[in-house]
Amino acid sequence: MSENEHASRREEVARACVTVDLATDRAFALFTDGLDRWWPRENTFSGARVPELGMTRQAGWFERTDSGQTVSWGGVRAWQPPQRLVLAWQISPATQPWSPEPDPAKASEVEVRFTPVEPGRTLVEVEHRGFARHGPAGADMAAAMASPMGWPALLEAYRAAATEA
């Protein structure tokens, strides 16, 4: 791989945003404490059998399977309620379907910013970066997360949950 190709792969970023009718503190809480209410079950390692999805500052984000096993999606790199959240995305694109990646050095990073746009409304912006850390399959993961079925679909599910909050 040439130096220019390597540089462009490092710069791959998936971005998406949505505005929700929640105050910033409630939007942050729904994204974190309410992960179980909005993250689509088909976007988990265990599928529909996942009885619990969660996120805490200490544990990061995770799913708990019907057999009680906890599967980590990555740790928390920054937890600054209600403005900002940075998460490790410890998911490997080297397998199909994707699988957990235990090595944090091979994780990309998801930054979520919560910005008030008017009273009771919040702009939620996601920037997923660092795909080169995933190795050769990182470019495919970047494309998948930037596609309509990636972060845009995830944020649409989040927005739908916000309307019910």
CATH number of the domain bearing residue 14: 3.30.530.20
120 domain residue, yes or no? yes
18 domain residue, yes or no? yes
Reading the block at residue 30, the tokens are 């729904």
Give the three-class secondary structure for 92. Answer: strand
Note whether 36 and 53 are within 8 A (CB): yes
Residue 1 has pLDDT above 60, yes or no: no
129 domain residue, yes or no? yes
Of 35-39, 41-45, 132-136, 140-144, the one with minimum mean pLDDT is 41-45
pTM of the model: 0.91
Angle between helices 151-164 and 24-32 (to 10 degrees): 120
Q: What is the average per-residue pLDDT within 21-47?
A: 94
Residue 43 has pLDDT above 50, yes or no: yes
Residue bearing the bigger pLDDT, 129 or 11: 129
52 domain residue, yes or no? no
CA–CA distance, 18 with 122 (Å, rounded to integer)? 8
CA–CA distance, 102 with 88 (Å, rounded to integer)? 11
Residue 36 has pLDDT above 80, yes or no: yes
Domain residue limits at 97? 3-42+75-164
Say how far residue 40 (Cα) sits from the centre of its chain. Answer: 12
Reading the block at residue 165, the tokens are 């909050």
153 domain residue, yes or no? yes
Nearest to 106 by CA among 125, 89, 119: 89
Reading the block at residue 65, the tokens are 């399977």
Which residues face 71 on adjacent strands? 63
Mean pLDDT (the chain, rounded) = 91
Q: Edge to edge, what strands does the sheet with 60-64 contain?
A: 52-56, 60-64, 70-74
CA–CA distance, 44 with 48 (Å, rounded to integer)? 8
The tally of domains found in the chain comes to: 1
134 domain residue, yes or no? yes
